[in-house]
Amino acid sequence: MTKPSVSRREGFAAHVALQPHDNLLERPYEGEPPAAVADAGPYWSLARDSLTGEYRPGADVGSARAAAASGHLDERGPRVLAVLDEVARSTAASDA
């Protein structure tokens, strides 16, 4: 039984948000995600802001989010950022 169905059955406040990880760095759902996640849509689309490009190895951002974003600065994160940088250059995209 899902949490939303328990809430309905018991008359509790309805769930209005869900924060699944589903982005370029974290892909937990290979195939169909659970119904509750599919209904809510992705929340961490920027992988805790690490895909913004602001948080890079060696950068001193001075942000409360830096610690969470730095969790993606393993060997894979910088490679993903490099590909995103190349896509941005090739499409003449500007920073958001």
> How high is the pLDDT of residue 90?
93
Q: What was the pLDDT predicted at 96?
A: 58
Mean pLDDT of 73-83: 88
Structure tokens at 15: 């769930």
Predicted confidence (pLDDT) at residue 82 exceeds the cutoff of 60:
yes
Q: What is the pTM of this model?
A: 0.54
Domain boundaries, the chain: 3-91
Q: Are 6 and 53 in contact (CB under 8 A)?
A: no
Q: Rounded to an integer, what distance in angstroms lies between the CA atom of residue 74 and that of residue 57? A: 9
How far CA 33 is from CA of 13, 44, 59, 72, 87, in Å, comes to 24, 15, 35, 22, 28
Condensed to tens digits (0 to 9), the pLDDT of residues 16-47 reads 666 666 677 776 666 666 666 555 555 566 77
Distances (CA, A) of 90 to 23, 25, 82: 22, 22, 12
